[in-house]
Amino acid sequence: METVITRTAYKLTIKFQDGSDIPKRLKEKDRNTKSNLDSKVEQTFQRHVQAWTDTINSILRHVSNNEQAWRFIRINPKVDDLTIDSVTLCKDFLAFNDLLVQRRDIDNCSADELGKLCMLFTAFQREIENHIKKESI
């Protein structure tokens, strides 16, 4: 399970980081590029990976439905009803919103986790909106 979490943390770091904060070894097509693991870019990248790993673990701990937790993490909402015309009618959106409010207002999670949750939440909402647009065409 740890490798799945680590791989997902890497993917999320790459997705949400500014390109200048991503080591060359991950940006270039030649994956054999040698990199200095002590470089500032690499260290910053690794801190972000760790923050995403912590956030993923937190989501998995706080969402009782493991399948739903992974949908949040992978930004893959389940839109049951094809007639949904608003994100607020999507059960996954409401559940993710509840998690965000819980972690922010009741549990007082760290600022780092809150930032990561907000990035995921926004991307999750956009994904639902894209699904709604696609279905309305």
Rounded to two decimals, the pTM is 0.86
pLDDT at res. 81 = 65
- The mean pLDDT value of the chain amounts to 88
Query: Structurally, how many domains does the chain consist of?
Result: 1
Give the pLDDT band of residue 40 (cuts 50, 70, 90). Answer: confident
Instruction: Considering only the C-alpha atoms of the chain, give the largest distance between any 2 of them, rounded to a whole number of Å.
Output: 52
**Chain CA centroid to CA 11, Å:** 9
Q: Between residues 44 and 95, which one has the greater pLDDT?
A: 95
In angstroms, the CA 102 to CA 106 distance is 5
Helix pair angle (111-136, 66-73), 10° resolution? 90
Identify the domain containing residue 33 by its residue range: 2-136
Determine what percent of the chain is predicted with pLDDT higher than 70: 85
Residue 36: CB atoms within 10 A of its CB come to 12
Token pair listed for 22? 């991503």
Model confidence at 54: pLDDT above 70: yes
